[in-house]
Structure 1
Amino acid sequence: MINSNALETATRRLHGRVRSTPVLDTGSVLYKLELLQHAGSFKTRGMFNKILAAAERGLPASGIIAASGGNAGLAAAYAARELGVRAEIYVPETAPPVKVAKLAKLGASVTQTGHEYAEAYAAAIVRSEESGAVFCHAYDDADMVAGNGTLGLELLDQASFDTVLVAVGGGGLIAGVVAALNGKKKVVAVEPVTARALSAALAAGAPVDVPVSGVAADSLGARRIGRIAYETAVETSLTSVLVDDDAIVEARRHLWDEYRLAVEHGTAAAQAALTSGAYVPAPDERVVVLLCGANTNPSDLS
């Protein structure tokens, strides 16, 4: 698990570079509005920390490379632009057009290849070895996880709560949040039934490949959980629940109808744990739903 020193270092690095995102208290549930982060997701925290840490060791002229279903690429492109670093992003051909268009606007070089994140990842690794650019893993990297963990530390200062619900793909967010809140608050992992890398790993006793599909696959579609997230989950006996596509779609619609919050399907998975009954809080339990990304096409919400 990421230690407190790494979290404190990340907090110092990110000061003035990322937004302190607000918490919305609806009376029945709290929402951490990380969808308001630069580039539209929590991943900007991790990518800034990764690139800044690499810069301390000396960045090559070829800059950075990242593979992404969309959000990690957007975060890498944004952070690289702000730091004056060249960025090359590999995304699957199935990445949402809204995310691909934003990558180009941020000045990154974009290559689309394969139908899943895993294929884009493999191509990016080859390119990184050829060019010498620093590879920025979307989730299984200590600097990425520590940067994401600053969100948890921020949340502790903002609100009084008992539990936080976190959507899980590759595990870079939940590993950071658990590290920040360990021993202080309960963290619940929420995964789509059709992209259940964490729960499959916990059942198997090690990270394993899983089939990936469903409405949230573009952001939660990691074929295998990251090593850091898996080890963190085992060490802390992390609670995990599953939600289906119908529940995710309904939760996304609920967030729009009730609060005018336009979130991507992967983000809505955390809300789906509540609206579907996959997670039932105790009567006096104060729950935070972490809304981690906004990179969606809102045309189907109206």
Structure 2
Amino acid sequence: MKLGTIGIWSWAFTHGDRAEARDAAAEVEELGFGAIWLGGTPGGNPRGDLVTAAEILQVTHRTTVATGCVSVWDTTPERLAAAYHALPPRDSARLLVGLGVSHADFVDGYRDPYHALRRYLDALDTAPAPLPSTARIVGAHGPQMTRLAGAKSAGVHPFLVSPAHTAWARSILGEGPVLALEQAVILETDAETARAEARAMLARYLRLGNYRAAWLRMGFAPEDLSGGGSDRLIDALFAWGKPDEVAARLTEHRQAGADHIAVHVVTASPEAFSRPAWRELAAALL
């Protein structure tokens, strides 16, 4: 699966206007980004598992299309594998299926997520038409999930992480498995404004136990997770400033062991496409 070094991650592909999603995807490919990540909110993707992916694959030719992420609670492994194989081979060859265990806040009967994910990955292997391990990636943050992802998928796709987490994840994965992280970006040079935008986006995630546990594991204190997030937390999770400052953060991730970075330009609405910002970043990053 060819992801390239830099991709674009956006909620707009799954939550915004469908016609613009197709047009925007074609532009992302033309700009030279290696992958298009179809962001889903913690509560799920309103357009189904691979519906949007199929539409984006049809209007692109080279770029990898990845889901970030399909919840293992929302669809059976057999159905997901069948949807993957229903695509034309030329399209499925460019599809990376991101999988995640979601959160207890959104799933009735949420329990034992590690074993639920293991069973799901095993079932993908034994489906009538298996979904290849090389065509799936896991949204993992903790050590057990990260090791499982490295053994049973292409690698990991962590969300809202710092370069320190990237170095830690690489140490867990070792060489070989893909480390393809999301990096939240705000093209704003005023610290107060940038941090306010970051806190608005971060608010929903600060309530979720899985993310809080991951940040505490990475050395943040409970007080860093209160009041909308401390400046220390915000500055670690978000790259804000001019494009060259964003580029410097991406370099930190690469030096820490990242193979691919999915750039997520933060917007006030999940339906908004960030096309001017993508163009500006392409000039600085590619």
Calculate the TM-score normalised by the size of structure 1.
0.29
Calculate the TM-score normalised by the size of structure 2.
0.30
